[in-house]
Structures are given as structure tokens and as C-alpha cells.
Amino acid sequence: MIIADLAQIAGRTYPARRLTQNVVGGASPIQSKNFAVGFVTLDPNGGQVPWHNQDQEEVYFIVEGTCEMCLGSERKTLTAGMAAQIPPTVFHQLTNIGATPAKMIYIYGPAGDVAHWKQELTGTLPKAGIAPTPPLPPGARPQCTSVAIFYGKSGRSEPQPSGSDPCDNAEITPVAP
């Protein structure tokens, strides 16, 4: 029997202020060709899975917290116990709008790496609203794409971000609990 213990999976921290731990696929001891599963902790007041798309079908399940979910031209608030289905190739973003960490589980298939992970780490994630990337829905929290703050805090060699990012100095106003 192969066991993946979340307490033993270090995970990876991303510039948009989240920790992603692979439960199935990636660095996990459990591997599958058909799907991947992960556990994500979004920092309070703006931790995010930034605006992106991918070829796989996906589901986000909110375990804890309050998040803004953008999917194509739609924007909704998701709370603990809610799930959102994400069709293949549709742009989407999840932002923690609460004052405490939000936790979610993602499931996508088929398994494999998704480009946005590497793009976010290298500062090359396509910007919302700059062709061919569609804009976020009206009223949505801004897409966080900057790596400057992330690399500055981690002491890593800092890549040069292109342009300014609204999340560099922005503090997302949390919703009331």
C-alpha cells in the first residue's frame, strides 16, 4: 500500500502567496496517469492561484475559508464545502478574500505538469487582459504575477519581472467572517 501523508509532504510555495502540496502526482509517493490531486493553502487577504488556463479538466473544493472564484466571465464567492468545476482551457483564478488562511483541494485529469506552475515561478505567467489572455471578470481581485516580493523574501536569485504588478503592494480587504 502506498500512502501519501500530507504532514510529510513539504510542498512548494508560489509567488502568489500559496503553498501547494501534491497528494497524487508530482513529488507525492502516489502517482497516477489519469488524475492529480493537491492540497493548497492560500495566505490570508489575497493568497491566490492566479488567472491561467490548462488543457485538463479540474475541480476546486474549498475545505476552509472564503475565496473569490473567477471562471471565464463569471465571478462567485466560494466557502467551505463548495466545489467549482473548471472545464478544459477555460481561464480561472482563485483568491483568498478572508483574514485567515483558506484551504482547498484540486483534482485534475489527466495527470501531468501544468504550465502555470513554472510560469509563475519564472515571472512569465500571461497577464490577464493582454492578448491573447482574456481579462478577468468585472470586479475581480487583480491577478498576482510578480515574483519580486517572493524572491526577495526567500533570498533566491531574483528574476526580473516584466512590468508592475497590482499585487506587489496591494493588500486585499478581507470579507467579514
* Terminal C-alpha separation, the chain: 40
pLDDT tens per residue, range 21-62: 999 999 999 999 999 999 999 999 999 999 999 999 999 999
- Check residue 164 and give its pLDDT: 47
- Check residue 32 and give its pLDDT: 96
Q: Which fold has domain 6-154?
A: Jelly Rolls (2.60.120)
* Cα dihedral 147, 152, 153, 159 sign: positive
Q: Which pLDDT band, with edges at 50, 70 and 90, does 146 fall under? A: confident
* Residues above pLDDT 90, as percent of the chain: 75
Cα angle 16-86-60, degrees, rounded to a multiple of 5: 55
Residue 69: alpha-carbon gap to chain centroid: 11
pLDDT tens per residue, range 63-81: 999 999 999 999 999 999 9
Q: Where are the domains of the chain?
A: 6-154
Distance CA 22, CA 39 (A): 7
